[in-house]
Amino acid sequence: MKISFLTFILGFFIFLSLNRHSKSGIQNYHSEIWADKAGYYIYLPAFFIYNFQVDGLPAEIDKKTGNGFIVRDGKIITKYTYGVALLQAPFFIICHVLSKLCNLQDDGFSLIYHKSINIAAVIYSFFSFIFLFNFLIRYLKKKVVIITLACLYIGTNIFYYSVFETGMSHIYSLFLFASYLYLGPFANEQKKPIYVFLFGLIIGLIIVVRPINILFLPVYFIFNTFSITDIKNNLKSYILIFITVFIVLMPQLLYWKYASGSYFQYSYGEERFSNLLHPEVLKLLFSTNNGLFIYCPLLIFFLTGLFILYKHVPRFSICIAVYFIFISFVFSSWHDWTYGCSYGCRPFVEYISIFALPFGFFIEKFILKNSLKLLWLTLIIVFIVYNQKLIFSYDGCWAAGIWDWSELLNLIVSETK
């Protein structure tokens, strides 16, 4: 029954994503291969079809897919790392084989390849929550975990990036973060080579999906014990992790050598964390231009949960609170703190994996044990409906500079699209 129900849930959200994109067409803003999404994806056709040669590429395909990558000097150039493409690769290969068998256009940019990205994002989000479930169940009761995960999926921007913007990196990072949280104790306590290898693999993928994800790696030390003696006693395990991470990183270094002539490159040009001395933390969290808590108000309860968590495991609460302040500072220091066509401050999507724990303690305290649970439950439902209403009401780019409170209120009362 459990497997049947989970299969139904997975199938439903795959259908939802495919249906949402059924009228989008290709080579436009709504396309699964457009702008940033094309920049992540281009490694797949470049490697499997064109051998990184530009001769066979469809004419002006870089411009037709929103300039997420460029064709220059006989090379295919993208500023994005290859991790998203690697995770999408199994779905790409299946679609490429089907294209050949069914005599469909097999250039890597036709409709079937776009649909493979929708399926990939939903499946990775599904397994993200499977891993999160197995992480949270160590600290919370099963009922609490199920309610927590259901609320976070439909009540935050996780839903948006798993169903709507399926080609962005955030769902793939969420999957890896959840895997990292789940595997940490196995690699730490059991020291079996298979667990150590998988842990190293996850670390490497976390980095190549989005290099800034390296900020998540210290989270390991919140939930796992560690000492210098561990390094001495388990040197082989750490060497295996290092080798595995290096193997995962190697293709990226080779690509940078091909693209720029150097094995190491900062590919984002002038885009950098240029506001370290003037971070816009309050705007990042509360602005109508993609402020985290304005678009995902449900996450406010994660802050409440930190106080409850403190009564149970003070170290967890303090570390997560400090970590939240730290990443908020870093994210708000980016040259564009609104993160362009974002929904609800997209850099936080994958970090909801760690926010889930204090949020779960909030659910346990205020929804299951509190005399005012009906009031809290009503607030949760309102925030979930609010999030879903925003997502389904706006059909454009959530860009910087166009939103104010009146615009946001008009969106809330407008018809869904």
pLDDT tens track for 155-174: 999 999 999 999 999 999 99
What pLDDT does residue 237 have? Answer: 86
Other beta carbons within 10 Å of 401 = 7
Per-residue pLDDT, averaged over 303-313, amounts to 95
| Stretch 377-382: mean pLDDT | 94
Query: Does 300 fall in a domain?
Result: yes
Residue range of the domain that includes 361 = 281-413
- Residue 332 pLDDT > 60: yes
- Listed range (251-265, 301-315, 386-400) with the worst mean pLDDT: 386-400
The whole-angstrom separation of Cα 128 and Cα 14 is 15
Per-residue pLDDT for 389 more than 70? yes
Token pair in block for residue 294: 């304005």
399 compared with 67, residue with greater pLDDT: 67
Residue 307 covered by a domain: yes
Range of weakest confidence among 157-166, 176-185, 268-277: 268-277
Residue that the structure tokens 């059924």 belong to: 22
pLDDT over 70 at 40, yes or no: yes
Confidence of residue 66 (pLDDT cuts 50, 70, 90): very high
**Who contacts 117 (Cβ-Cβ below 8 Å, separation ≥6)?**
32, 33, 37, 41, 88, 91, 166, 167
| Mean pLDDT to the nearest integer, 194-200 | 94
**What would the 3-class secondary structure string for the chain be?**
CHHHHHHHHHHHHHHHHHHHCCCCCCCCCCCCCCCHHHHHHCHHHHHHCCCCCCCCCCCCHHHHCCCCCEEECCEEECCCCCHHHHHHHHHHHHHHHHHHHCCCCCCCCCHHHHHHHHHHHHHHHHHHHHHHHHHHCCCCCHHHHHHHHHHHHHHCHHHHHHHCCCCCCHHHHHHHHHHHHHHHHHHHHHCCHHHHHHHHHHHHHHHHHCHHHHHHHHHHHHHCCCCHHHHHHCHHHHHHHHHHHHHHHHHHHHHHHHHHCCCCCCCCCCCCCCCCCCCCHHHHHHCCCCCHHHHCHHHHHHHHHHHHHHHHCHHHHHHHHHHHHHHHHHHCCCCCCCCCCCCCCHHHCCCHHHHHHHHHHHHHHHHCCCCCHHHHHHHHHHHHHHHHHHHHHCCCCCCCCCCCHHHHHHHHHCCCC
152 occurs within a structural domain: no
Residue 298, in any domain of the structure? yes
- The pLDDT value recorded for residue 321 is 97
Q: Which token pair is 392?
A: 């389904």
- Average pLDDT of the residues in 312-329: 96
Q: Which residues of 253-281 are buried (b: 16+ CB within 10 A; e: fewer)?
A: eebbeebeeeeeeebeeeeeeeeeeebbe
What is the average pLDDT score of the chain? 92
Spatial CB neighbours of 195, under 8 Å, sequence gap ≥ 6 = 183, 186, 187
Higher pLDDT, 221 or 370: 221
What's the pLDDT band for 1 if we cut at 50, 70, 90? low
Determine the Cα–Cα distance for residues 326 and 215; give it in Å rounded to an integer: 10
Q: Is the pLDDT of residue 191 over 80?
A: no
Residues in the chain, how many?
417
pLDDT score at 400: 59
Residue 414: predicted pLDDT: 80
Q: Quote the number of domains for the chain.
A: 1
Q: Is residue 70 scored above 70 in pLDDT?
A: yes
Q: What are phi and psi of 282, to 5 degrees?
A: -65, -40
In-domain check, residue 146:
no
Residue 238 lies in a domain: no
Do the domain assignments include residue 293? yes
Type of residue at 40: Y
| Non-local CB neighbours of 364 within 8 Å, separated by 6+ positions | 140, 141, 144, 308
Q: What is the pLDDT of residues 278-296, one digit of tens each?
A: 999 999 999 988 899 999 9
Q: Which amino acid is at 19?
A: N
Q: Could you tell me if residue 265 is inside a domain?
A: no
Q: What is the mean pLDDT of residues 218-223?
A: 94
